[in-house]
Amino acid sequence: MTQSAHPGTAERPLRAAIVGSGPSGFYAADALISRAGLNVTIDIIDRLPTPYGLVRGGVAPDHQNIKGVIRVYEKVMAHPGVRFFGNIKVGRDIQAADLRACYDAVVFAVGNESDQRMRLPGEDLPGCHSATEFVGWYNGHPDFTHLKFELDVEAAVVIGVGNVAMDVARILARDPHELAGTDMAGYALEELKTVRKLKRIYVVGRRGAAQAAFSPKEIKEIGALKNADLIVGPDEVAGMEGKDPAAEGWDVETKQDIEFLLKKAQEAPAGKPRQIVLRFLRSPVEFLAGPHGRLGAIKLEQNALVDDGKGDLKAQGTGQFETLPVGVAFKAIGYRGVPLPGVPYDVKKGIIPSAEGRVVENLENRKLVPGAYVVGWAKRGPSGLIGTNKGDSIATVEALLNDFAAGKTPPNLAADPRLEALPELLAQRGARWVSFEDWKRIDEEEIRRGKAAGKIREKFINIQEVLKFLDSTR
């Protein structure tokens, strides 16, 4: 093929790789295959043997309706030009430069796999965890299945008031029997069933109720739990009664949140077995060791809101402190991307730097990396719901297709655009990949095992076990 030919025809399809099989990756694939007149073949590569990213490993097991979005991704996989290569890690089995040689365009959809640190004294004490770890653990994500959590304590604290904090608080608060029929990892369910002492789950926000990041739906769900009372002390919503939302600059969601919290603040607790206690305007300043060297308490500083000079309000410590005895802490203060070898990374933001979805060397020189694109949290950071990724991926694909449009010089043309190029390379490297047909067998087996245990599915929890199963049934 000559370098002047434009890929995208039946004779020379556009070859695209998408690294990451979560929502943003699938929406990018969908946008490519939906483009009228474009001939494209897509390989979706994931380091795990199983697809769907956070839909499988992040969405809470009691939110099965959200997981229904997988049906859209299955339709993408049904397209004859789309293949899945699971268990293939960029930087280990294949390098970014290999991808550049096999594909005209590479779309990075790798999400944010790590979390933000607080850099506070005591943060590494046993008992102090990130929400990422806990969520990965209860969802059977192979990176986290080995972790142990001491949950049988009288009080826990969740730091942050976003939707991840809501997930963590809710899973802790529920009677585990309510979760028994879900796809929660079996070991996590068993561990939760042993928790007897847990009475109180504090959820701590550094700013006020009107700045809370949770959605109305999520906080209302917390308020409706069978096993826990939501406690909103009058101080947490002080001065909010009768406020004019427009004058306050509250959006619809904030208005709904405040209305709900004001209502809850009036209610007496019903005496349910557990309590979720909301505390606003407080920042952790230290995690304190208790007996046995484990986390025993958290020291909080009370905050006031001050102008941040950028049109928003920020928390500022007042010098007043309080200490809450807690045996376990979960930091739900946001995710962070991890660098991928050979791919630019912005250390400050924890994302892949880009301009309109085109990967750039860095945000200062904004020099384009030919043929490299980015979508989802890896592009914009950890914000938005699953659906937010759709428009975002479409925008990046638009940039990609503009770059490849007839008459323009494509930013990268694969040296070896054959469909066999990747399988051959992986075979040479001795890398074992899991195809979509393999995944279908894994899926069926998980559902079968789940059925036997009275659950939606029982997930495989480690990669070796998945590969062994595939070998034994081939």
| Footprint of ligand NAP (CB under 6 A) | 63, 118, 159-165, 167, 205-207, 211, 213, 218, 283, 332-335, 382-385
Nearest residue to ligand NAP, scored by beta-carbon proximity: 162
Instruction: Give the CA radius of gyration of the chain.
Output: 24
* 444/421 Cα distance (integer angstroms): 30
Residue count of the chain, please give it. 474
Whole-number Å distance between alpha carbons of 127 and 296: 8
Least spacing, CB of residue 467 vs ligand NAP, in Å: 30
- The two tokens of residue 63 are 């939110």
Q: How far is the CB of 104 from ligand NAP (least distance, A)?
A: 32
With b for 16 or more beta-carbon neighbours within 10 A and e for fewer, the 293-311 pattern comes to eebbbbbbbbbebeeeeee
Instruction: Report the residue number, 19 or 333, with the smaller CB distance to ligand NAP.
Output: 333
Minimum distance of ligand NAP from residue 285's CB (angstroms): 10
The helix or strand, by DSSP H or E, that contains position 251, with its residue range, turns out to be none
- Name residue, tokens 């970014």: 96
Measured distance CA(148)–CA(125) in Å, rounded:
13
Contact predicate 46/393, CB 8 Å: no
Q: What letter would DSSP give residue 94?
A: B
Q: How far is the CB of 448 from ligand NAP (least distance, A)?
A: 28
Smaller CB distance to ligand NAP: residue 16 or 60?
Answer: 60
Cα separation of 229 and 273, whole Å?
8
Q: Do 368 and 359 form a contact (C-beta atoms < 8 A)?
A: yes
Provide the pairing of β-strand 228-232 with 274-279.
parallel
Tell me the closest approach of the beta carbon of residue 75 to ligand NAP, in angstroms: 22
Q: What is the closest distance, in whole angstroms, from the C-beta atom of residue 385 to ligand NAP in the complex?
A: 5
**Contact status, residue 375 vs residue 351, Cβ threshold 8 Å:** no
- Please, which residue, 45 or 161, has the CB nearer to ligand NAP? 161
Q: Which CB sits closer to ligand NAP, 164 or 329?
A: 164
The alpha-helical segments, DSSP class H, found in 128-251 are 131-138, 163-173, 186-193, 216-223, 245-248
- Residue closer to ligand NAP, measured from CB, 205 or 344: 205
Residue 365 Cβ vs ligand NAP, minimum distance, rounded to whole Å: 29
Complex with ligand NAP: residue 55 or 231, whichever CB lies closer:
55
Compare residues 50 and 389 and give the one whose CB is closer to ligand NAP: 389
Shortest separation between residue 159's beta carbon and ligand NAP, angstroms = 6
Q: What angle (nearest 5°) sits at the alpha carbon of residue 33, between those of residues 29 and 34?
A: 110
- Is 188:145 a contact under the CB 8 Å cutoff? no
* Min separation Cβ 301 and ligand NAP, Å: 11
Instruction: Pick between residue 346 and residue 445 the one whose CB is nearest to ligand NAP.
Output: 346
Nearer to ligand NAP, 217 or 418 (CB): 217
